[in-house]
Structures are given as structure tokens and as C-alpha cells.
Chain A
Amino acid sequence: MSNSEFKFSPENIERINKEIAKYPEKKPAVMATLYIAQEQNGYISNEVIKEVATILEMTSEDVLGVVTFYTMYFQKPMGKHHIQVCTNVSCMLRGGYEIWNQVKEKLGLDNMGVSADQKFSLEEVECMGSCGTAPMIAVNEDYYENLTKEKVEEIINSLK
């Protein structure tokens, strides 16, 4: 998974500096910096890890350790629309698995799968804090709650 050297855009360097300013040292900004990198690059490549390590004065291994610990950093390119379906208990009791199976079938993807055109990717997620508005899916950063199969169909059809 090698691509050419990764450099942050000047605007993003400014955002990272603002994050660093929140803490008494540079390292705690790693989580925010990785989000910014993922936004710019689409995923966390080895080159991204090297660059983040250089900027925050960490070792690449420490950055990699952070990347692999948290589920929201991706080490491969994901779809333009990353669909997350919660199947934890509160959602399950209100049809979460029906929606999971529906989306899986509709997109022809399995957990962490990415469509060939890179338009969609799919993830079965743990509790998203939508228990009172279950079942739910999230598309990238946006929550869709109180869903029915019809609404899910509509949401996915609306994604370009």
C-alpha cells in the first residue's frame, strides 16, 4: 500500500497547529491530526503515519498504535459514502438486523466491504447512542434515525 509522499495542505497544517495548542505537548493532537489526514487522504497510509509522526514528534510505531486501536481510522480507502449500521441490542430489538441484511443485500457488500466503484462501503457498528431513536444508520458523519426499510431504501437511493 505505497503511494507517493504525503504532505498536509497549508490550511490543514493550520488546523493541526490549533489542535496542538490545546495541550501541554504535541502528542495528544494525534487523534485530531489523524482525522484531518483521513479527510485529506481518504485513509491512513504508511506515508500519512510517517508525516504525522514527524509533525507531532512521535515515532511511526506510536502513531500506528493509535491508528489500529480505534475503529474510526481506516487503513484502506473506503467508499465515498461509508454506511454504518448499528445492530447492538437496542437497535436489534427494533429491527437493526433486518436493516443490516437489507443494506448488505442492496449494496452487495459484507462488513468492511467497499464497492468496486468506491462509491459505497459498509460497516456493522457497535452502539452509536441512538437507542431511543432506533434503528439507525449513519452515512459518513450523519445519523439517520427512527428508520423503516422504506426510509433506508430512500436514503441509499438518494446518495450520489
Chain B
Amino acid sequence: MEKIVLPDIENIHILDVYIENGGFSAAKKAFAQTSDEVIDQVKKSGLRGRGGAAFSAGLKWSFMPKTTDKPKYLCINGDESEPGSFKDRQIFEYNPHQLIEGILITAYAIGAKVAYIYIRGEYHKWVKLMQKALDDAYAAGYVGEAMKEKFGTDFFCNIYVHKGAGAYICGEESSLMNSLEGKRGYPRVKPPFPAQNGLWGCPTTINNVETITNIPPIISKGWDWFSKIGEPKHPGTILFGVSGHVNKPGVYELPSGTLLTDIIYNYAGGVPGNKDILCVIPGGSSMPPLRGDQLEGVKMDAESLKAAGSAIGTGGIMVMDEDTDLVKVLARISHFYHHESCGQCTPCREGTGWLEKILKRILAGNGSVSDIDLLITVANQIEGNTICALGEAAAWPVRFMVTRFRDYFEARVSKEVNLKVANKVHSMRHTEFPLAEVKN
């Protein structure tokens, strides 16, 4: 299987090697076309965003106003802070020039002369690697004013790296823009959307790192080639990050629609000690968890996962074996969202705290059956009542884990049942519970 985003070419992160392998020929090809033609190809390719929402990339670009007296901006979201997600750092490290080329093509398509790559602060090493690649591309004349001569075009674009400073919320696009403007990273009310009112009030497009790294191959090999890879409704490859209880954790680039069980058992080497799987979160910690008996036949693409009662998210697959303490996992997840809530909206600021408190109470052995219902009540009061999607991110894991593992949680709040027995009770009874519906 051909890899598109992280090809098996040694030292492809070095500019000369990238150029030897056809680097920047897609940009040259794109600059010879009109911007509408470029957008049209990306639309037809079916490329969907890899940052979580799986929105059509070409459609997003087409929202940018054609005529405006304001400058336009491109933002690349490399904040990558979703627990279970560790794919963009591979691109910064192993294929940064393809990202740079993708940025140039995108900037041309939307008419932006400045692009910012927002990278999370903890990624010191990857900020440096990305900056090094960018410096090399500048020095060789592929970026900035010099690219006019290099590509024989009137278009040019400057690219800058902006380093975050440790806030999960800045992965949310409007929060990222506020952060980039030098403010606290509070999400903005939408609409207006970034294409109308983005950075400094100007039209802005925000795309994920992996999404943009897909652009050069789409332009050079054609949209029809891309659209035939994987699942037709969500084509291309996806970087699946597998973590938790597997023998070979890591990032695997595979066609969309690859079976979840294939990824876990074949690529990631299965579960240590051949244990059964209790739970899998298929798309990073904010996505609805699946039970071990719900995994058979689940394909990893946006539509299939929606049908299976979860969502693709960032493709971060977290695997938990039969001995995992799910209350501890959920309490940890809830602690995370409480910690990362920006505090702007009351349901999220207060609700995430209550979710954590209740789960810690259950974890300490002081829970009751009414606590389980209370968790769902609180989660339902957060979901849909906040400015940004952190509300959903905090509510989903709780609502779906508690609903899908109801027997497990009931066993855990019963004083007579210990963890080992609770896990057994669960595996005997768990098939009766229907899938809860995902709103997205």
C-alpha cells in the first residue's frame, strides 16, 4: 500500500531529497492553473479534514470571499493536544517539506500571502525541526518573495511558525486564532466563521497539518487517483495513532476504511498477553468509546464510525484490555477536560468539574447508583450548551462510557464487587445494551 503523507523514502525531511523525489512540482503545476481550478480538484478529490470534524477541505476553501479589500490568511493547526493523538509530530519530523508545499498550494488557492503554522508549545523539538525545514526552503527560494522567480509566477507567500504555550483549547480553531493574535485562547462565537471573520478580522482558512500534507499528491497525481483510495466517502489514507494496551503502539498510515480490528491485531501487534479488549476509543479521548464486543467489522472512516456509534476524530486509537479500571480511565479523562476548560461558558466550566468530582467519588469507593445517572444528567447539560466543542468533548466520553458499560459502572458502585469481578460481570452481560446515538 502506497503511503501518501509519510512515504517510505529515506531522509525525505531533507530539502534536496524532497526535491529529488519530485518535491515542489505539484506547486509548480498548481500555480499554472487558476485558483478555482485548484479548489475544484481538491473538492472532487473528496479530501476531508484530518483534525477531527472531517469536513470537506475543498468546500472549506471555497468559503473564502473572492473579492475583499482585506488581506487573507491561512492557519495550519498543529496544536495536536488531543489525548491519544500523536500524528502531526511525525509530519514535522519526517516530511515537513510536503507540508510546506501543501501550504503554498493552499495559500495560492485561497489567495493568502501569509500562512502561520501553530504548533503546541510542548513540541519544542518539532518546532525547531519545522523551523529548520522552513529556513532551508526560504534559503533555496521556495518560500517568500523569492518564490516568484523560482516558480515563474506573480504569487508569493510567507510562512511563519507560531509556538503555543500549553493549552488544549487552542486546538479549537477560533481559540487558536485568538491565541495567535496574542490573547487568551478563548473560543469565539460562531458565526461569523473564520472565512468571513478570522485572524485580525480578515478572511482566514484553518486546516489541520495532515490535511494540508495531502494536497501536493492530490495535485500531482490527480483528484481521481486520490478519490479511489480507501472509502469513497472519506478517501485517502489516514494516520492512525495506536496507543494503550497493544504490542506495537505507533502511527500507521493506512487507507481509510481499514478494519479497526485489523489495525489493532495485525498492525499494532494485538494485545499483550492475548487478553481480551474491554474498551477502545477510536478517535482520541473525546470520541465515544466502543465496547470490546462492538469492534467486529468496524471500519475506520468518518461514515462507518458514525454508523458504529462513534467518530473518527483525529484517528487516535486507544486500546484498553480486560483488566483496565474503566472508572479510573474515565475519571482521568474528566480531569483532563476540567483542567482544559477555558472557563468561558458556565456549563463547561462547572460541569466538567462535577463530572470529575463524581467519578473520583466512585473511584474512591463512595459512589452509588444515583451517581451514574447524575453523570449522564450533568453530561447532557454540558453538551450543546457551550460556545465551542470542548463541551461535547467532555460530555461524550462520560455519556457513552456510562451508557455502554452501565453494568460495569453499577458493579463498581456496589460495595461488594471488586474490580476483577466487575470486569467479569461486564463480559457476561454486555451484549444487551443498544448503541446510543451520536449527535454530530
Contact = CB atoms under 8 A, between A and B. Distances in A.
Interface string A118-136: 0000000111111111100
A24 B73 CA distance: 11
A89 B318 contact: yes
A89 B165 contact: no
Given A28-B180, A132-B249, A70 B121 contact: yes
B83 A88 contact: yes
Question: What 6 pairs across the A-B complex have the smallest Cβ distances?
Answer: A70-B165, A131-B243, A71-B166, A27-B182, A141-B124, A90-B243
Interface residues of A, number: 43
A89 B180 contact: no
Contacts of B342: 69
B160 A131 contact: no
Contact of B122 (A23, A65, A129): A129
Contact of B89 (A32, A87, A88, A129): A129
17 contacts: A25-B200, A34-B165, A56-B182, A71-B166, A72-B121, A89-B244, A89-B333, A90-B243, A93-B329, A126-B336, A127-B85, A131-B85, A131-B241, A132-B250, A133-B249, A138-B122, A141-B125
B86 A93 contact: no
A66 interface: yes
Contacts of A25: 200
A129 B180 CA distance: 21
A22 interface: yes
Contact of A31 (B122, B165, B241, B250): B165
Most buried by B among A128, A131, A141: A131
Interface in B309-341: 316, 318, 320, 324, 328-329, 332-333, 336, 339-340
B245 interface: yes
A142 interface: yes
A127 B84 contact: yes
A33 to B, nearest CB: 9
B349 interface: no
Given A22-B160, A28-B180, A93-B244, A129 B86 contact: yes
B61 interface: no
Given A71-B165, A130-B86, A90 B182 contact: no
B165 A72 contact: yes
B: contact size bracket: 35 or more
Contact of B324 (A27, A32, A93, A138): A93
A112 to B, nearest CB: 13
Given A24-B200, A31-B179, A132 B167 contact: no
B329 A69 contact: no
Contacts of A55: none
A129 B244 contact: no
Interface in A63-81: 65-66, 69-73
A58 interface: yes
Contact of A73 (B80, B163, B165, B183): B165
B298 to A, nearest CB: 20
B210 interface: no
A22 to B, nearest CB: 4
A93 B182 contact: no
Contacts of A90: 83-84, 243-244, 249, 318
B302 to A, nearest CB: 21
